[in-house]
Structure 1
Amino acid sequence: MSGHQWVNEAISKIEADFQRSADTHLIRLELPGINGVEVYLKDESTHPTGSLKHRLARSLFLYAICNGWVDENTTIIESSSGSTAVSEAYFARLLGLPFIAVMPRSTSMQKIQQIRFYGGQCHLVNCSSEIYAESQRLARELNGHYMDQFTYAERATDWRGNNNIADSIFRQMRAEKYPVPSWIVMSPGTGGTSATIGRYIRYQKLNTRLCVVDPDHSVFMDYYTSGDSSLTIDQGSLIEGIGRPRVEPSFIPGVIDDMRRVPDVAAIATIHWLERILGRKAGPSTGTNLYGALQIAAQMKSDGQEGSIVTLLCDPGDRYLDTCYNPDWFAAQVGDIQPWIDDLCRLYGK
């Protein structure tokens, strides 16, 4: 098969897969404690691979193929804490390409099993800070392509439209009481999604503001406040998929209107509280997102403001049964979450 023929067929397969998938749902939460402020979850767990990272993986594959970096003989390597690797393994299998995920040993077993289900291999390292160099080494040794989500996430997606997540949110909000959200709240992993949303808001001349919430043990917020891109820490984030030990190239602070730190204990408590409302489990990054959104909602109500807030349900909780939904694990890692759950029930309901 000629190079151009393979590229044409690969892009056609990815585009056909996209057409087989409907848009993700937008869920309005019933929260009597903040009447006048509507809070919505953009449920990215309904993608074929179960997370927000499905959009990113599709964009990264198209970007790499169209740049001539990937052909029919290329081994794909990615550094990931799990969800991106799951989604990239799916697309690699779709194209018949070998896939290797370089991941910290602390990654949940459920994610590792999903990567293997899609035919991918998992190459585990001791510390999250080791994933970059190890991915580069493997790519060199195997003559493969390091997908490098942390560099290319902010440029692989067309932020002006083309059914990106921002375009989807604003289309789905059109029939709501407050169709233009006062805030969109999300947490950064690569920084690619916050870059897409922030750029889209500005390009479309919208009055929505973007709040980015960072977990404990992440340098993004410190970089946002200090401007020091050399910041690093030794400890990785407890909240899989978000927070980084270094400033990633895809994190664009200039598109952000506000940034807040959400304690890990608050994030874990929030997903347990959310289960009472939705009747199903969500992953811990969703807890970080929603806790930040609830803080803003409470402030809006206190200030006598009405409006809407949209945040992201990033992935399902069944990937974290041995961690965030294991009482022994979260007691050891973050302490007693019950007081936080009680506060959420008192302030917002349930």
Structure 2
Amino acid sequence: MSPAHQGARLRHQGRGGRRSRLRAVRNLVAQLKDSLGAVNLDQYSNRAAFDAHDQGTMREIVEQLGHAPEMLAVAVSTTGTVGGCLQHIREHGYDTKVVAVDAAGSVLFGGARGERILPGYGAGVVTELSKEVAPDRVVQVEAADAVHAARSLARSTGFAPGASGGAVAWAVSQLLEEGAAEEVVAVFHDDGRAYLDTVYNDEWADAQIGDAK
């Protein structure tokens, strides 16, 4: 079977959810490893993500600020970003408190499984990377709050975040409101252009969350 047909079969098998997709990927890699040198980078377990965000994201934040921030808010799914930032913070002895912004319904960090209508943050399984990550705090964000915060940020600043960015924006507003920190650095992973048919679509928002504010 050609690689193109293998890919088509993979897409078909992947419709059953993340577990079936990973199983299909493992089978495909095993079949093509010798002939094509196939590998699976697997963002859910590849620890290279920690090093990338340790030496990249968090190092740059500290350099740009001129100091380690008081608090850092990061959306989580694979947990590569938050894990790398935590790695950098702890290796350098910074006092930065790290807040993992998760989705309501996500099972990460002991969360209870529930329906999730937005992609981009949260997870339906405990990822391998997340087993090595211990944020100082976890804030779970409902889909409606993420949508409202994303749209509000777009209206007030011209910056349109995606779903996880909306969740981060909502979490930061709550942290500041409760006085959790005077300085909060937020990491926005996504771009709202990928969510024009969902987060920024009034009909979708009305149907999914009952309010397209």
Report the TM-score when normalising by structure 2.
0.83
Q: Judge conservation of contact 1:170–1:180 (CA < 8 Å) in 2.
A: yes
- Secondary structure of 2:44's partner? helix
The aligned counterpart of 1:287 is: 166
Structure 2 CA distance for aligned equivalents of residues 246 and 182 of structure 1: 30
The aligned counterpart of 2:188 is: 313
Distance 1:252 1:183, change over 3 A: farther
The aligned counterpart of 2:39 is: 145
- Secondary structure of 2:27's partner? helix
Unaligned runs of 5+ in 2: none
Distance 1:313 1:161, change over 3 A: closer
CA shift, 1:299, in A, is 1.1
- Residues 290-320 of structure 1, C-alpha deviations (whole Å, 9 max, x = no match): 11111111111xx7x6x31011121211111
Report the TM-score when normalising by structure 1.
0.52
The aligned counterpart of 1:131 is: 21
2:86 paired with 1:192: no
Moved over 6 A (4+): none
The aligned counterpart of 1:272 is: 151
The number of residue pairs the alignment matches comes to 203
Structure 2 CA distance for aligned equivalents of residues 194 and 161 of structure 1: 9
* Equivalent AA in structure 2 for residue 146 of structure 1: N
- Residues 82-114 of structure 1, C-alpha deviations (whole Å, 9 max, x = no match): xxxxxxxxxxxxxxxxx99x67x9xxxxxxxxx
* Equivalent AA in structure 2 for residue 208 of structure 1: T
Distance 1:252 1:169, change over 3 A: farther
Structure 2 CA distance for aligned equivalents of residues 182 and 278 of structure 1: 24
Distance 1:221 1:331, change over 3 A: farther
Unaligned runs of 5+ in 1: 1-74, 76-98, 106-122, 224-230, 339-350
2:48 paired with 1:158: no
CA shift, 1:268, in A, is 0.6
Larger relative CO (CA 8 A, sep 6+): 1 or 2? 1
Distance 1:323 1:159, change over 3 A: closer
Structure 1 CA distance for aligned equivalents of residues 49 and 101 of structure 2: 23
Q: Judge conservation of contact 1:129–1:245 (CA < 8 Å) in 2.
A: no
Distance 1:216 1:255, change over 3 A: closer
CA shift, 1:253, in A, is 5.8
Q: CA RMSD in A?
A: 2.7
2:146 paired with 1:256: no
Q: Judge conservation of contact 2:79–2:133 (CA < 8 Å) in 1.
A: no
Higher strand share: 1
* Equivalent AA in structure 1 for residue 196 of structure 2: L
Distance 1:170 1:192, change over 3 A: same
CA shift, 1:156, in A, is 4.4
The aligned counterpart of 2:94 is: 206
2:114 paired with 1:221: no
CA shift, 1:222, in A, is 2.0
- Residues 218-273 of structure 1, C-alpha deviations (whole Å, 9 max, x = no match): 101325xxxxxxx8x585x4222221111000114653101111111000111100
- Secondary structure of 1:210's partner? strand
